[in-house]
Amino acid sequence: MDIIGPAGAGIAIAMENLFPPLPSEVILPMAGLAASRGSFTVFEALLWTTAGSIVGALLLYGLGAWLGLTRLRAFAAKVPLLHPEDIDRTVAWFGRHGGKAVFFGRMIPIFRSLISIPAGITRMPVWRFTLLTAAGSVIWNSIFVLSGYYLGESWHVVERYADILQYVVIGAVVIGVAWFLYVRVRALVQSRGSQGGPEPEFD
């Protein structure tokens, strides 16, 4: 972190948005630790990492805008167990809660990156998306940067709690996907059974 400086930390956070396996929970506290040692200021750490968050989010927003609703519905029609209506319901939900989803989504592991794509698909105004992303990112980044700044060499303590939050989110996603698949497969089996009609009887 002393070598790459605050700008390098910002680039790393931008990459973390595009490749979620890169751990912001490590990058941000290390930036705070470097700031506590005088390599750069806390303000520089927060400024550059927040700028990186915004840039990464805007790139994914652009991907969502490029995909568009029509392409996404066509893709859903070709994927087993998915229907174009699923996309319509998701877009309708985002239309009602998009602002809150973008703001709070910036503070939830995994969703921090993914939430930018539906924002682009629904063409949320770029200025609004940028402001909400910046606001959520400032809160998330400040928690970890300041943790590294004040905890010093013990910065890794906060990583433990961040890992717990990440496991909870992953568990919830797995349960949600499993339930979705169960409901769809059951509906598919019932549909095929009703189309087949009653079994013939033999004497």
- For the stretch 102-113, pLDDT in tens is 999 888 877 777
Q: What is the pLDDT of residues 159-180, one digit of tens each?
A: 666 666 667 767 776 787 787 6
Token representation of residue 133:
């992303």
Tens of pLDDT, residue by residue over 17-70, are 888 666 777 888 888 888 888 888 999 999 999 999 999 999 999 998 998 888
Only one residue has tokens 């519905």, namely 73
* Angle 23-28-29 from CA coordinates, rounded to 5°: 105
pTM recorded for the entire structure: 0.76
3-class DSSP assignment, residue 80 = coil
Q: Helical H runs in the chain?
A: 5-18, 24-36, 42-78, 84-105, 111-114, 116-121, 126-151, 156-196
pLDDT tens-digit readout, 121-147 = 888 999 999 999 999 999 999 988 988
